Chain A
Amino acid sequence: MQQGKLCNRIPVETKDKLKEILGDKGGIQYYKEMESLEVDVPALKDLLKRTLKSRLKTWLNSCMRCGLCADSCFLYIANDKDPKQVPSYKIQSTLGELVRRKGEVDTQFMMHCMDVAWAQCTCCNRCTMYCPMGIDTGVMFSYLRGILFSQGFVPWEMKIGSGMHRVYRAQMDITTEDWVDTCEWMEEETEEEWPGLKIPVDKENADIIYTVNAREAKHYPEDLADAAILFHLAGENWTVPSEGWEETSLAMFAGDWEAAKLQVKSVYSAIERLKPKRMVVTECGHAYRATVTEGPYWAGIKSGKPPVDSLHYVEWVAEALRTGKLKIDPAKRIKEPVTFQDSCNYIRNAGLADDARYIMSQIAEDFREMKPNREHNYCCGGGGGLNGIGRYRQERNIGLKVKRDQILETGAKLVISPCHNCWDALRDLEEVYKIGIRWSFLKPILIKMVVVPDHLKLSAE
């Protein structure tokens, strides 16, 4: 069965293969090869037989085509209510059709499924809240992505991302040495302003093990320094693992189930090795979903929970503010109108809306909710991997209109966004639509307004 050199059914497992696929800028050759990538129908049939279980079958069969999901989807709204963007249509015409045809499908159909699965659904799960039958279309699209990945029909950047996880146990090319070196570097860079600040690596029995998004190590190390400053100010006994520090999962977005399992197991191994009391994960939505919400199932943990209690960063901040570990100087609160971007992965899908509101009540004088908000807020527009896929840039930019209008309606020019993916979407939204907004994670905002305990003040002060 015909396969391409770059576009094929074989996952990327070596540095050389990564280099080869990265060398095909923008995936030009990759997508060309995809047009003649043949579907391995026997393998597809076998996969369906093994993995399409009663829950998904029930969902596919119980959809009444009532259309109540239509208006819940930001992509339907952004695309002028195009019927092809109705969630039930999107899943029925792809996964539903694939199942009805019992896997007897061709290349063109699979490419169409890929374009729908990554460009027309961000797996934000908002439609689930409005379905009278409780059908979870986001979960079904995640399943469809897995089927597509197994057959090689996956966007170029996703194939690279899952390959990175397989080779580096991180979504980017960062070795253990690189990571530890970056931690040491951030200690050096902060030592003048924060004497005594440490980023403890591999400390056993700490109260907190802190895990991050690889981009912080590779491109934005100030995020790690900011986290260290806030743990320092809060007096936390914390550590980062030398291995198993990456909590994100482009493998999950890619539908590479095997790599998703390998990745999350590396984090759980670090927990077992260092025996911390709890885990805190950085300001990232999908990382929380991958490591805290879904990861335990991938790793085969029967309780469905990670090995230790795990907090998203907003939970840690809310707790630190409630207990007084971090204190806000009221004079330094944000005075201008400010709004909050609810990340689907930990607000809608993990119920942390109250913690986020508590934080906003402490740091802002004029907090303005988007409409709708909390669990009902819309996806930023770039979730589920969509931000990072060049092939779908136009579709992503159209989708951003919904968030743009929500923000404009609040009148706020500052958006707090404790999720890397949302943060990127807001940055790109500003680049595309130029509405004059700024956006920020919580960490830099908090550092500007927390009270520094006397014993941590610089002696010159």
Chain B
Amino acid sequence: MAETVEYNGKSFDVDEDGFLLDFTQFTEEWLEIVMKEEGIAELNEEHRLVIDVLHDYYKKNGIAPMVRVLSKLTKFKLKHIYELFPSGPGKGACKMAGLPKPTGCV
């Protein structure tokens, strides 16, 4: 089930879909791994804001927020969130932020 991903001397425990199993393992190296997968060339401040918001919400609630909440807290329109994370807020952004894979039909 669990696998380990090595990158630049750091190792990460991931689930079968490549999501981080342990939120506390999140580092800049993790961001680099997922950026490549998601085809994001460079992280800007807006990417960082989305990631920070996801972190805060997850720490408080133990689950990823709905996109509506993400939009409210970042003030980004839905289209813009998709421009930042082409594979979508539910999958790409959560993965990058080190959140576990959302459960259910996702």
- Segment at the A interface, from B4-12, B27-35, B40-48, B62-70: B62-70
- Known A22-B62, A218-B67: A161·B104 in contact at CB below 8 Å: yes
Q: How far is the CA of A390 from the CA of B77 in the complex (A)?
A: 32
Q: Using an 8 Å CB-CB cutoff, how does the interface string of A319-358 with B read, 1 for contact, 0 for none?
A: 0000000000000000000000000000000000000000
**A213 contacts the other chain (CB 8 A):** yes
Is the CB–CB distance between B62 and A388 below 8 Å? no
Instruction: Tell which of B1, B66, B78, B105 touches A387, judged by Cβ atoms closer than 8 Å.
Output: B105
Tell me the number of A-to-B contacts counted with CB atoms below 8 Å: 101
Instruction: Tell which of B63, B67, B71 touches A219, judged by Cβ atoms closer than 8 Å.
Output: B67
Is the CB–CB distance between A390 and B63 below 8 Å? no
Please give, as numbers and ranges, the residues of chain A lying within 8 Å of B61 by CB-CB distance: 19
Question: By CB atoms of chain B within 10 A, which of A26, A217, A393, A420 has the most?
Answer: A26
Q: Using an 8 Å CB-CB cutoff, how does the interface string of A368-395 with B read, 1 for contact, 0 for none?
A: 0000000000000000000110110110
Please give, as numbers and ranges, the residues of chain A lying within 8 Å of B105 by CB-CB distance: 171, 213-215, 248, 250, 284, 387-388, 420-421, 424
Q: Using an 8 Å CB-CB cutoff, how does the interface string of B75-106 with A read, 1 for contact, 0 for none?
A: 00111001000001111000000001111111
Interface residues of A in 13-35 (CB under 8 A from B): 19, 22-23, 25-26, 28
Q: How far is the CA of A427 from the CA of B69 in the complex (A)?
A: 25
**A174 contacts the other chain (CB 8 A):** yes
**A442 contacts the other chain (CB 8 A):** no
Q: How far is the CA of A446 from the CA of B7 in the complex (A)?
A: 43
Task: Name A218's closest neighbour in chain B (CB-CB).
Answer: B66
Is the CB–CB distance between B66 and A178 below 8 Å? yes
Interface residues of B in 5-26 (CB under 8 A from A): 15-17, 21-22
Interface residues of A in 217-276 (CB under 8 A from B): 217-222, 225, 248, 250
Instruction: Tell which of A28, A171, A222, A225 touches B104, judged by Cβ atoms closer than 8 Å.
Output: A171
Is the CB–CB distance between B102 and A157 below 8 Å? no
B28 to chain A, nearest CB (A): 21
New contact pairs (7) apart from A214-B104, A387-B105, CB-CB < 8 Å: A28-B1, A157-B104, A171-B105, A218-B102, A219-B66, A248-B105, A393-B17
**Residue ranges of A at the interface with B (Cβ–Cβ < 8 Å):** 19, 22-23, 25-26, 28, 157, 160-161, 164, 171-174, 178, 181-182, 185, 189, 213-215, 217-222, 225, 248, 250, 284, 387-388, 390-391, 393-394, 420-421, 424
